[in-house]
Structure 1
Amino acid sequence: MAKPEPNQNAVVVPAGIDPGKSYSCVRSLSRAGLDTIVASEYDDLPAAASRSCDESISIPPISEDLEAYKDALVGIAARPDVDTILPIRPQDPYVFAKYRSEFEQYVDLVVPSFDTLRLCHDRLRLAEAAREAGVPTAETRLLEDVNDWDSDLIIKARYNLLADEYLGQDTSVIPGTVKTVEFVRDGTVPDTDAIREAMYHEPVVQEYIHSAGKYVFGALYDHGDALATFQHRQIRGDSYTHGGGVYRKSVDIPRLESTGRALLDSLEWHGLACIEYMEDARTGEFKFIEINPRLWQSTNCAIQSGADFPVYYWLQSQGRSDEIDNDYETGVGTHTLYGEMKYFRSLFQEQSPFVERPSPPVELLKILASFAETPNFDDFHADDPLPAVVGVKRLIESQVL
């Protein structure tokens, strides 16, 4: 992979409070010889403290004023040294697609069309699209269409991202995610009115998949053609009940590959995609759960395995897709230290009707043993220790633990 001339190419990394993903992207891009610009409303981020960060810029909070956030990114994109902007935060693909013409005066972005994004963010329509593509999927219905509660179910937001365009009404809602999830055991009737109120709209009900494993299929596509793909198996999530992977290992399973490609091919996908699959313990099928159209929480696992998606994205944005090397090593594991702490905390603070709570002492030993076996971390690197210090300081000040 050819490196650019120094100081001529910069990539913008929009960063939220996630301590690992933006930091991993900054390190990845810097190793490729690219300048990195961290843009965020937060002034004490690990990514901005990294020796791999060339510049940090303060921008308006995305949760308060989406237009101001967009205008700030367009202003940065207008700089002659900026090549592109990574889609990292949940709202980024939405902002890039909705205001594509404003951004593409200055930079090339690799994101789906707004119509495809609307489908992607709608769990109900997306489940139907998966079935039409022949992809096994969890049964998905609107809450109002559920007449019986005689099976294990999970209730979640219909929209992966809430926005007026999706809700079909002017609510003046600032696009964002609804993370509320309700687990419903067979025979239990939930308080549906309270759930609707908590989620701000009519949610969906999915069958609860008793899983033999959770997997991620990551990909970068060019108008329906796969440029690079990657898989990992989740070993621990940020909660013992559910959640994103905080300890994972790269895998290469042909059946998962074909299932992942089938859905993205059918959608003529363009850009990044992170697809979550559950391996059904009863049937052995990889069942589709959802798509996130951006760089994923566990991007560092792909990077450490050799699938350098932040750099791949930059190459595609610059018309250099032929330089993407679609190959990676299997068996490579990575952790998020902060996520592992959240997992351990969940053993005391959370509960699930479907998952038996593991023994905290046993789990602590497992975590420490996995650190010794796989000392690769998203948010700590011995050659760049300051981001970890900043992350711990933020953790203490916010009293998260």
Structure 2
Amino acid sequence: MSSKAVILGCNYYIGLSTIRCLGIHGIHTVAVDYTDKNTYAVKSKYCSERLVSPHYKEDPRGFIAFLKDYAAKQSEKPVLIPCHDNYVEIVDEYLDELRESFLIPQTEQGLYTKLMNKETLQRIALELGVAVPETVRVGEDDFYAKIDAVIKYPCIIKPSDSPAFVAKFRKKLFKANNRQELDEAIAKSHEEGLEVIVQRIIPGFDDHMYTFDAYMNQESKVTHWVTCQKFRQYPINFGASVYTGQRYVPELYELGAKFFEAVGYKGFAEIEFKKDAETGQYYLIEINVRITNLNNLLYKTGINIPYITYMELTGTPMPPHAVTRNTGLVFWYAYEDLMAVRNYIRTGQLTVGQVVRSYFKPKAPAIWSWSDPKPAFAFFGMIAGKAMGRFTRR
């Protein structure tokens, strides 16, 4: 019997694409979530098994015991793949314990969390000579003077703990156009017990956002990588990718590979950069230490991250590969892209013509698959149900 792949988080298309990337190679996939409601990824024909676990936050010890109990019943150690930041956090917290039962690429407990935390990430990046946006910490000396002189308005207020912030406010950050809005954003965050930092906004439209997506082997060497350029995100300007194309940018390899190898990272991760529209310098914005939105795009370009992970951990590593050409492929999350397009047009950032022309590219859809359509039907049913619920409550 070969190892099973246990996928944490199945109510989003990241889990779905992970299941497909493994299932297409005949790997037994196990979808785990704390509820069976809206978990449309389990509808995939490539989902071999589904489990409902205790809630990772409400009962963390129960969740870990559930995973270990499942692993103990298997003939081979399963490969564990978290597909959401909250699952990454608990895997990191119990990493040493979970590694006794599962195959996990990362070996250093706490590294995931250090790279997810905006403050520790900034310190590490600066130590390694990687540019990050100018930052002021709430409460430091001459706080407002530094905001006026260095950061300037508008500015962004970002959380140290992104998953907790997003869970509370349903957005990645706050934007402040003046001191009053800055104070209000800080107060809102502190009321929820969330620490925040204030950063300069790097000039440039959303298409100045880029990603370096890479897999690091057990020697922390980059073996597989691809670079991408965002075209649109949702919420607009400071959101997640909804329309992003693969684009070969060798400079990002130089920056990203140096960073990951220096910190001893193992497994898959993605760095988001922003290119300053005035200077051309790339700034490190954040790091995703799990499978990301772009997973299906990476797969379509020839970089199957879940399978690469599985094969290395089970003893048969894949030969190195990088996408060093422009394929023209675009990741598309149609549902949120339509909402983003509406807002881009409303705010005058894009024209209807620009949007229409952008769609003439080969797509890597977030959810739809002609060979595996059931998850899309389940997703559409879920969205229709939510819309009907809002309508009946009016």
Could you tell me whether the CA contact under 8 Å between 2:204 and 2:277 is conserved in 1? yes
The corresponding residue for 2:248 is 252
Match among 304, 309, 322 for residue 308 of structure 1: 304
Q: In the alignment, is residue 69 of structure 1 matched against residue 57 of structure 2?
A: no
Name the counterpart of 1:386: 374
Q: Quick one: which of 88, 107, 110 aligns to 2:102?
A: 107
- Aligned match of 2:52: 58
Quote the offset at 1:176 in angstroms.
6.5
Of 176-185 and 205-214, more deviation after overlay is shown by: 176-185
TM-score (norm 2): 0.85
Contact 1:11 1:82 in 2 (8 A): no
Measured at CA, do residues 189 and 96 of structure 1 come closer, stay the same or move farther in structure 2, by a change above 3 Å? Answer: closer
Look up the match of 1:240: 236
Q: Partner letter of residue 110 of structure 2? A: D
Is 1:33 the counterpart of 2:26? The answer is yes
> Contact 1:109–1:317 at 8 Å: present in 2 too?
yes
| Root mean square deviation of aligned Cα | 2.7
For residues 39-188 of structure 1, the aligned pairs below 5 Å read 39-43=32-36, 44-78=38-72, 79-80=74-75, 83-111=78-106, 113-145=108-140, 146-148=143-145, 149-150=147-148, 151-152=152-153, 153-161=155-163, 179-185=171-177
Distance in 2, Cα, partners of 1:32 & 1:243:
33
1:183-222 matches, cutoff 5 A = 183-185=175-177, 190-192=182-184, 194-211=187-204, 213-221=208-216, 222=218
Q: TM-score, normalized by length of structure 1?
A: 0.84
Q: More helix by proportion, 1 or 2?
A: 2
Give the CA deviation at 1:327.
2.8
Question: What is the Cα deviation at residue 81 of structure 1?
Answer: 5.1
CA distance in 2, matches of 1:60, 1:368: 45
Q: Following superposition, which runs of at least 4 residues in structure 1 exceed 6 angstroms of deviation?
A: 175-178
After superposition, where does 1:306-385 map in structure 2 within 5 Å? 306-321=302-317, 323-328=318-323, 330=326, 331-344=328-341, 346=343, 356-358=347-349, 362-363=351-352, 370-385=358-373
Structure 2 unaligned runs (5+)? none
- The alpha-carbon deviation at position 42 of structure 1 amounts to 3.2
State whether residues 275 and 292 of structure 1, in contact with CA within 8 Å, keep that contact through their aligned partners in structure 2: yes
Contact 1:90 1:177 in 2 (8 A): no
Q: Deviations over 1:353-374 (max 9, x none)?
A: xxx4446xx44x6556544532
Deviations along 1:274-326, one digit per CA (max 9) or x if unpaired, are 111001111101100111211112111111111110011112212333x2432
- Matched-pair identity in %: 20
> Secondary structure in 1 aligned to 2:213?
strand
Code of the aligned partner of 2:18: C
Q: Deviations over 1:221-242 (max 9, x none)?
A: 1343212222111111122232
Aligned AA for 2:160? R
Is the CA contact (8 Å cut-off) linking 1:89 and 1:294 kept in structure 2?
Answer: yes
Task: Single out whichever of 277-286 and 7-16 deviates more from structure 2.
Answer: 7-16
Query: What amino acid is the match of 1:387?
Result: P
More displaced, 93-102 or 147-156? 93-102
